[in-house]
Amino acid sequence: MSTGHPLHREEQAESAHWQREAREQFPIITAHPELVYLDSAATSQKPRAVLDAVETYLTTTNANAGRGTYPWANRTTELVERTRRRVKEFLGDPEPQRSAVHFTSGTTEGLRIIARDWLTSYLTDGDEILVPFADHQANLDPWWEAQRLLADRGIDVRVRALPYQAESGDYDHRALDRVIGPRTRFVAATHIHHVYGGDMNVHRIRAAVGPDVPICLDAAQSVGHLPVSVAGSALDVDFLVFSGHKALALPGSGAVWARNARGPLFEPGGWHGTPNTVGIASLEAALDWLDAVGTDRIAGWTVGLATRLTDGLRRLTSYEILGCQSSLAAGSPVPAVQRRHGIVTFRHRDIPSDDLGFILFSHGFMVRADSLCQAGAAEKDGSVRVSLHVYNTVEEIDRLLTVLASLD
């Protein structure tokens, strides 16, 4: 992202041109050049292709799915089934004939469905589950709920905490052996941490628990932001859950992907009512747009911006960066430094985070400034989170650093 080595100038110019073309496809961004949106981890903005797909669906096809024989209903039913196949394809599903996709309102609902409808039918008395105690609250509460539901049936299940490295926020993979035992039956984990922005190295959890223990992955901060593939050993997980609205689709859309290779088949319970068909239409369009633009290029761009911001913050004495104190350029080899995937979170040593959030908005920057829904965090633990997407620019990061430096 720097203007450094002359051999890279042509590549940098091409990347900047690609990014400008992508940015111009977001009407809300181009309509407000005075504002800088830096809260894409909370929800992403929507490209014109998604907005057009929603309008087209609502003005040409809108009907219920699976409940009619007339053409609009048939087309809506096919939309739902086609988008299921599209999700599998987008995730690189190696065995789509065996896996399942269930549409939800987002990651939170998806995790709760797995906990209520699948995990409670899988566990037996004396089993243990391993879950994150310092990730998003949505990836902790469902597993406590499952424990309570099982306790009501007289089944005692122990919930154990994944260990963390205090300095980076990553899971402490060296300490996993101390919490994994012969009754470990399930692990819930996060792909990209919503506060620290780091890859949580789920492949190391798989190596520690062995080939037979199901793993559920919260991918809310990765799908739509970087390439995500469930093929191969990097993400050998059994469930992957994501929110459509963080992946350029409409609010109220999301999905659970289930591999159906370990444990019982994933079959959500209860009566399945009307699906969010317009949300599903937006999700299909969002996945198509992401593939066309390239999630690898999006990741390279946002990692570069996060690196620039991290490097700038490290030069300012009044700020504390949360998580790993350094970052990497997109093309760097992987040493003992986590790459920040488009999220940089920090605190000012004297200015409360909510006040800093108001100050930044007075300069046109929209950031998240609170405890970030982190499990175990209190109001006093507030921080400022900058989260990036393809529509953000180098100039925006430099302007932000100028404002932050004026408060140093």
Query: Tens digit of pLDDT per residue, the chain (408 long)?
Result: 444 444 456 666 788 899 999 999 999 999 999 999 999 999 999 999 999 999 999 999 999 998 889 999 999 999 999 999 999 999 999 999 999 999 999 999 999 999 999 999 999 999 999 999 999 999 999 999 999 999 999 999 999 999 999 778 899 999 999 999 999 999 999 999 999 999 999 999 999 999 999 999 999 999 999 999 999 899 999 999 999 999 999 999 999 999 999 999 999 988 888 999 999 999 999 999 999 999 999 999 999 999 999 999 999 999 999 987 655 554 555 544 556 789 999 999 999 999 999 999 999 999 999 888 988 887 778 999 999 999 999 999 999 999 999 999
What is d(CA 355, CA 376) in angstroms, rounded to the nearest whole number? 22
Spatial neighbors of 22 by CB under 8 A, at least 6 apart, are 47, 293, 390, 391
Please write the tens of the pLDDT for every residue from 3-18. 444 445 666 678 889 9
How is residue 114 annotated by DSSP?
I
Strand ranges, E, within 10-75: 36-37
Distances (CA, A) of 277 to 68, 252, 280: 14, 10, 5
- What whole-number percentage of the chain has pLDDT above 90? 84
Identify the residue whose tokens are 């932050």. 404
CB 218 within 8 A of CB 191: yes
Report the b/e string of 118-136 with b at 16+ CB within 10 A.
bbbebbeeebbbbbbebbb
How far apart (Å, rounded) are the C-alpha atoms in residues 113 and 164?
26
What confidence score (pLDDT) does residue 8 get? 53
Residue 333's pLDDT is 53
- The reported pTM is 0.93
pLDDT reported for residue 215: 98
